[in-house]
Chain A
């Protein structure tokens, strides 16, 4: 049976080329792809390439206090640390950017461009991506860009952006509400953040635990769940509470 299958595979590949059909194989080796490491080592390991990939769209969804803002800010801090030439942009549709918290997360805010009050998000994203002047683009569309508010042409524009992304080294990260998933169906990586529980240090609130479900990953075929800890320490350290 297996011999027949192999023979049939060989016959098809000979006739139509090697790419037409092939066996799916589990990869045990981590893939090499340009990436920006996240702040959490466990998450980096689970992502397979060691972080958030460049040149593709990454979508992160989650409700309030699921750690999305912290995730985005830590990612910016890491991008600024890894490569000082990386320019970073935060698109703040809900006008809720907190510079104090960003500094506590390690972001060099004077090297960060904040965009507020622009309605035509896809057009702006396209301009930034094609300019090839941005290393990391975090677009916070929670509450500001729901399914209803995005007209059809803008949805189509997302495919234009993902095509342009492949030609640049920019990492595009969308932070969105759980309901708005179908808008950005072209995400190569989709993470869903769920608040698990609060962590206390004595009487104080020290942070919270978040479950990250890797719902889609083009680089690794398995769906995975990782638990990460988001510390609320303003001292610059991230405690494993």
Chain B
């Protein structure tokens, strides 16, 4: 039985998401923009000539009556996760959302593309599921129109949902996932469009560009045979604090951080988990939003360490002139709790003994001075080379 992939394309996905969240009328134009540039827009704005990455000033000239919405990346990520979870629960866990680094995503400007692998279904069941999924996505996104296509390749399935798949050939070759060296090489060969690259003979591409070149060549010809990456819901722990009045004093803000870290620690210990990445988002009294993320070397769950990490992160922000109104702390990369294994058991001693035996053998051949171990002598010495000393391994 051949593999079946459904690609569901939701045009103007991001704007549909904000429209639904903010309960806006469908006929009202909408612009999603940072301080200077437009990150997404709705269908009405696109019809007036607004494009992503356009300057906000230009976009507002074209669509003066448009409602301006600030992008909220956490909200977007959460909404995508909810959508994927609902689709995965209803149909299959083999669901993938086309992210920014995906090759096909460049063709799907402002659209959201979901791939679903229907490996164990026959053609008739798959076609039925396509219509079900269209209904499901439409209901989740309000009145958004969803196009869905079915094929044995991700690219072909996506192309069926697209209005102008013939125009792919004229697109620049840099839209394929090329590295700088390969891109330069293709440009030197005079290959500037996807169509020109796709017209080359297969054996020549393989001979000149190797296995990765052949993969790109398949993409250019509309064949994306990579499997659908199964959706894994991300487990996070999030706490937030909102104040009616902006907090200006550092000691008061530290007390808030302590409270949040205690809360996070309590939740983690209840679950028996540890987290590794910390994300802090803060909004100041002037409405300015700032965020920072830090990935720790080791997973942590203790309130003391979470507090220390939080303070370290907060210190990296530039000073808040208007005080802090809202703090959101998110802990990600959550894993089950694992304690340190102490050297209590015999096999560890055995292992160490085997290593010493091997080093003794080698030391007899190459000399004892070749096998050393760094020991901290004076950690605060002004000269770096005096802080550590290499001592012979066998005498330690």
Mark A residues whose CB is within 8 Å of B: 26, 28, 39, 41, 74, 77, 81, 83-85, 87, 97, 99-100, 102-103, 106, 109-110, 112-118, 120, 124, 127-128, 131-135, 201, 211, 213, 222-223, 225, 235-240
Contact = CB atoms under 8 A, between A and B. Distances in A.
Contacts of B376: 99, 103, 109-110
A237 B277 CA distance: 10
Interface in B165-192: 177, 179
Interface string B318-341: 000000000000000100000011
A117 B355 contact: no
8 contacts: A41-B277, A84-B341, A99-B390, A106-B297, A113-B393, A124-B366, A131-B358, A240-B295
Given A83-B341, A87-B351, A223-B211, A239 B295 contact: yes
A134 B355 contact: yes
Given A84-B341, A99-B388, A134-B355, A223 B370 contact: no
Given A83-B341, A100-B387, A238-B294, A113 B355 contact: yes
Contact of A133 (B212, B309, B342, B352): B352
B215 A236 contact: no
A132 B354 contact: yes
A128 B351 CA distance: 12
Interface string B366-396: 1101111111100000001001101001000
A109 B374 contact: yes
Contacts of B276: 41
Most buried by B among A113, A134, A201, A223: A113
Contact of A127 (B226, B361, B369): B361
A234 B84 CA distance: 39
A41 B333 contact: yes
Contact of A118 (B177, B211, B340, B370): B370
A112 B355 contact: no
A105 to B, nearest CB: 8
Contacts of B295: 41, 237-240
Interface residues of B, number: 58
Contacts of B340: 84
Q: Which of A81, A85, A115, A238 has the most CB of B within 10 A?
A: A85
Nearest to B359: A113
A114 B374 CA distance: 8
A225 B369 CA distance: 41
Contact of A110 (B212, B294, B359, B375): B375
Contacts of B390: 99, 114
B354 A236 contact: no
B92 to A, nearest CB: 11
Interface in B98-150: 117
* Max chain A C-beta neighbours (<10 A), residue from B345, B354, B357: B354
Contacts of A26: 225-227
B297 A77 contact: yes
Contacts of A127: 358, 361-362
Given A131-B358, A134-B358, 8 more contacts: A28-B229, A84-B342, A85-B351, A99-B388, A110-B376, A113-B393, A115-B370, A131-B355
A112 to B, nearest CB: 7
Contact of B358 (A106, A112, A128, A201): A128
Contacts of A112: 373-374
The 3 A-B residue pairs with the shortest CB-CB distance, nearest first, are: A133-B354, A133-B355, A131-B358
Contact of B370 (A102, A117, A211): A117
A237 B294 contact: yes
A239 B279 CA distance: 11
B293 interface: yes
Nearest to A194: B179
Contacts of B347: 85
A117 B309 CA distance: 40
A123 B230 CA distance: 44
Contacts of B369: 117
B34 interface: no
B207 interface: no
Nearest to A236: B297
Contact of B357 (A74, A133, A211): A133
A107 to B, nearest CB: 9
